[in-house]
């Protein structure tokens, strides 16, 4: 889907929370999810997983949306929940 002219969904699949560079180097303030740092908007590649997932859930729950829009939102919700449960989709080595 991303490769098929939908690069605006590229960032939907991960979050870049910093990973401590070595054991004992991390503090809660540097490794906790910070939306301002870890989920920035990108005009070309979209928002991060933590903003994309609720947006797709909202589309899925909206009965005014077309069946096609809701089907696509359901597919994204399933996929993004899977991404969220992948540990390396949620960290970035500094």
Contact of 49 with 71, CB cutoff 8 Å:
no
Q: What's the pLDDT score for residue 77?
A: 96
The tens-digit pLDDT sequence of the chain (94 residues) is 666 788 889 889 888 887 765 556 656 566 778 888 888 889 889 999 999 999 999 999 999 999 999 999 999 999 999 988 876 666 666 5
What pLDDT, on the 0 to 100 scale, is given for residue 33?
A: 82
Task: Give the pLDDT confidence score for residue 58 in this predicted structure.
Answer: 98
Show the 3-state SS of the chain.
CCCCCCHHHHHHHCCCEEECCCCCCCCHHHHCCCHHHHCCCCCCCCCCHHHHHHHHHHHHHCCCCCHHHHHHHHHHHHHHHHHHCCHHHCEEEC
């Amino acid at each position: 889907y991303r490769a098929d002219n939908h690069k605006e969904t590229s960032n939907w699949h991960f979050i870049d929370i910093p990973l401590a560079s070595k054991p004992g180097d991390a503090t809660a303030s540097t490794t906790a999810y910070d939306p301002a740092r870890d989920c920035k908007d990108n005009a070309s590649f979209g928002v991060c997983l933590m903003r994309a997932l609720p947006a797709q859930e909202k589309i899925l729950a909206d009965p005014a949306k077309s069946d096609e829009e809701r089907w696509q939102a359901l597919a994204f919700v399933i996929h993004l929940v899977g991404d969220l449960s992948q540990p390396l989709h949620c960290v970035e080595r500094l």
